[in-house]
Amino acid sequence: MGFMIFISGPSGVGKSTISKLIADKHSYVLFKQDDYFIPNDQKPRVVLSDGSEARNWDTYRSLDMERFNEDILRARFYIGGIILVEGFSLEIMKVVPDIHIHLSYVDSERVEDIALNNVLIAKRMIESRKLSKPNIKNDHLMVREIVLPHYLDSLPYSRFTYVIPTYIGDDRIPLDQLLNRIERLIFQTKGYLNFT
């Protein structure tokens, strides 16, 4: 049976980049929740406070969770090895990971501190999303009214093994340092990084 690592975090925190680098470096099987989005016209629509409408990508209802769960279960029981799963939501997942690493915008390893820093999280989330989604109108409202509340609501149920800050104070931690930290945690928990 495969050993499963889940890397989660809020929108724009870097989970896709980090997961791909780790999976490529160690030849892990990688599942990305982004690969399981349903077609745009089927995603839930929300009305924001300015009256505009937007598609809500940041909810498990925008994912084909049935196919996602089936693929992960199949990989875990038939492929084996180390399976790395990356995404924003553990909701309605049928498989519990062996390790759950959560990347955070807050300079703390305590879940309680994350929930207390919603203004800081919103600011950093908006800044990060501007880089990857520069043309989305009213994204700041989407973050404050939909994405951030969903993220904060999910924290108490997420069962993190480790919380990894991606910032120290106002400075983003370099990618190579984050990778080294995550690799050390996997090694510390599992005892090795590869099955080779």
pLDDT, position 113: 86
Is residue 47 in a domain? Answer: yes
pLDDT, position 195: 46
Q: What is the CATH number of the domain that holds 174?
A: 3.40.50.300
Is residue 73 in a domain? Answer: yes
Average pLDDT, the chain: 86
pLDDT, position 165: 93
Whole-angstrom Cα distance, residue 144 to residue 115? Answer: 14
Whole-angstrom Cα distance, residue 167 to residue 67? Answer: 34
Count of domains in the chain?
A: 1
Whole-angstrom Cα distance, residue 186 to residue 193? Answer: 7
pLDDT, position 64: 93
Question: For the segment 68-102, what is each residue's pLDDT rounded down to a tens digit?
Answer: 989 998 888 888 788 889 987 666 677 788 899 99
Is residue 98 in a domain? Answer: yes
pTM: 0.88
Is residue 109 in a domain? Answer: yes
pLDDT, position 82: 84
Residue 45 contacts by C-beta under 8 Å, 6 or more apart in sequence?
53, 54, 55, 56
CB 89 within 8 A of CB 33: yes
Is residue 196 in a domain? Answer: no
Question: For the segment 22-58, what is each residue's pLDDT rounded down to a tens digit?
Answer: 999 988 999 998 899 999 899 999 999 999 888 888 8
Question: For the segment 165-184, what is each residue's pLDDT rounded down to a tens digit?
Answer: 999 988 999 999 999 999 99
Domain that holds residue 89: 3-189
Question: For the segment 123-138, what is each residue's pLDDT rounded down to a tens digit?
Answer: 888 888 776 665 667 7
| Four-residue CA torsion sign, 11, 141, 61, 107 | positive
Is residue 61 in a domain? Answer: yes
CB 21 within 8 A of CB 13: no
Is residue 29 in a domain? Answer: yes
Residue 194's pLDDT band (cuts 50, 70, 90): low
Whole-angstrom Cα distance, residue 101 to residue 48? Answer: 31
Of 58, 23, 29, the closest CA to residue 128 belongs to 58
* DSSP conformational letter for 157: G
Is residue 158 in a domain? Answer: yes
3-state secondary structure (DSSP) of residue 90:
coil
Whether residue 193 has pLDDT greater than 60: no
